[in-house]
Structure 1
Amino acid sequence: MKRNELKGLKIGQIYKVDFLLENAGNFPLFLNDISASCGCTIPEYEHRCVAPGKKTKITIKITPPSLGYFRKKLTVFCNIKEGSIQLILKGIVEK
């Protein structure tokens, strides 16, 4: 699980957050799909296949819909033993 925490966000503005994933295995890592917990988070990624020892960047575009604390979960479905990697994005939206 990877986490990223944001502060000072404003309603309706678009923010970009990057997560780096490294393939620590001995075989290529295949990113099959990424699902988000809501429509206000949109994932973008460069490589669907990551060679051993290499990294890839997943960029999350988030548009906070309301004030207060939020926690968004994204699931990266891939060919690891667990079947997926969880990305957690949380923060506070202010006036």
Structure 2
Amino acid sequence: MNILKSFFICFAFAALVSCGNAGNKEEQATDTTASDLVQGGKIEFEESVYDFGEIKEGEVVDHVYTYTNTGTAPIILSQVSASCGCTTPSYTQTPVLPGKSGEVKVSFDSNGQVGKQQKIVTISSNAENRVTTVQLKGEVLSK
């Protein structure tokens, strides 16, 4: 009989403890779901690839990639980096409000870069699409 009482007490205790945990999980799931519904900024580039065609070695190509914030919160670019030291990016440093535009300017120095070129610029931000890329490509002809 004592074994039966002990079993019943353990079962009741386990049921009470598990009910308390289930409630916490539901609250956590509700909080996560609510935060997921909040939308942020979104970067959309007018063009993601720029083909500069053929240039002679030593020429510098400058191009501006314009993007629009199509989201609902301001976008802040945190880092813009190029795949090569011959490519130098600069970018809008201030927050870009929803519906407004920003820029990523890329400068490519073709000195010592003979042949087909494809330079990738990686943009990190607080937008929904946290990491995006743009591309600069073409061919550098020898002097």
TM-score (norm 2): 0.62
- In 1, Cα distance between the equivalents of 2:56 and 2:68? 31
In the alignment, structure 1 residue 56 sits paired with structure 2 residue 98: no
Structure 2 residue aligned with 1:15: 61
Q: Of 27, 37, 41, which residue of structure 1 is paired with 2:87? A: 41
Alignment of 1:76 onto 2:123: yes
Q: Distance in 2 between matches of 1:27 and 1:94?
A: 44
Question: Which structure dedicates a bigger proportion of its chain to strand?
Answer: 1
Q: Which runs of structure 1 show a deviation greater than 6 angstroms over 4 or more consecutive aligned residues?
A: none
Q: What is the CA-CA distance between 1:10 and the residue it aligns to?
A: 1.7
**How many residues align structurally?**
95
Residues 80, 46 of structure 1: alpha-carbon distance in 2 compared, 3 angstrom cutoff: closer
**What is the CA-CA distance between 1:45 and the residue it aligns to?**
1.5
Partner amino acid, structure 2, of 1:3: V
Amino acid at match of 2:123: V
Report the identity percentage.
28
Partners in 2 of 1:20 and 1:14 — Cα distance?
20
Shift of 1:8: 2.2
Query: What is the rounded CA distance, in whole Å, between the counterparts of 2:134 and 2:70 in structure 1?
Result: 17
- Superposition RMSD on alpha carbons, in Å? 1.5
Does 2:74 align with 1:28? Answer: yes
Shift of residue 72 of structure 1? 0.6
Structure having the higher Rg = 2
Choose between structure 1 and 2 for higher RCO, CA contacts under 8 A separated by at least 6 residues: 1
Q: Which runs of 5+ in 1 are unaligned?
A: none
Identify the residue that residue 88 of structure 1 maps to in structure 2. 135
Query: 1:32, 1:48 within 8 Å by CA — same for their partners in 2?
Result: no
**SS of the residue 1:49 aligns to:** coil
